Structure 1
Amino acid sequence: MVTSNFDYFAPTSVDEATSLLSRYRGEAKVLAGGHSLIPMMKLRLAEPGVLVDIGQIEGLSYINESSDGVAIGSMTTYREMANSSVIQSNYPLLADASAKVADLQVRNRGTIGGSLAHSDPAG
């Protein structure tokens, strides 16, 4: 199936991305790994007029532990979470769940931010 027409932007900073999302409020969708949104677009369950691809923004893929807990960046893949020594050591249930999401292709490309943004139940 073919998606409906849309404008595509690939910002290189968070400021640029938020500016685009503000400018195209209501018609823009965020594209992270693409495993949640693209299938929805092909089925015409989502028809955004604008896609804002955050894949070119540096610094959105991280796993940082502090005394308050762990922070996981929106572009962090399920594979990165499953293989993280921080997650494996201190959050083994999260590591185990991340290792069991869908198939290898989805774990390599699918991001936690994309799943959350589209209310996609991973698995």
Structure 2
Amino acid sequence: MSVRTMTRFHRDPTPHTDWCSRDHRCGINEHRAADVEAREVGGRAWITRTRAGDVEYAEVRIRIPLHRIETGARWQLSLTLRLIRDLLTAVAVRPGITRTGQAAVDTTRGRRAVGRAA
């Protein structure tokens, strides 16, 4: 008689997308595109398109050198947090943009949503 001491988990793999990197970046149920890097004066930023399950999102990582004096570093951190909050407000998905089968209109600018037919 054999007794199994560990439970085995089984997850159905999700199919690769057209944009995923199809390499070690993809997990069992997560797919990731190659990083896009922006190098600016004194800092760098990376953005990665990711799909986990049936939800797609953008993952943003930034590296900002901080000032060597504490008050300068705190000012930089405060400004960074405020600008990230403004960025999230500007690019957040608005209700109506993601409805399938409809040509949703972004009412803040009066334009059709990206990828939607006229």
Same fold (TM over 0.5): no
Q: Which structure would you say has the larger RCO, counting Cα contacts within 8 Å and 6 or more residues apart?
A: 1
Larger proportion of helix: 1
Bucket of the pairwise TM-score, normalised by the shorter protein:
under 0.3
Give the structure-1-normalised TM-score. Answer: 0.23
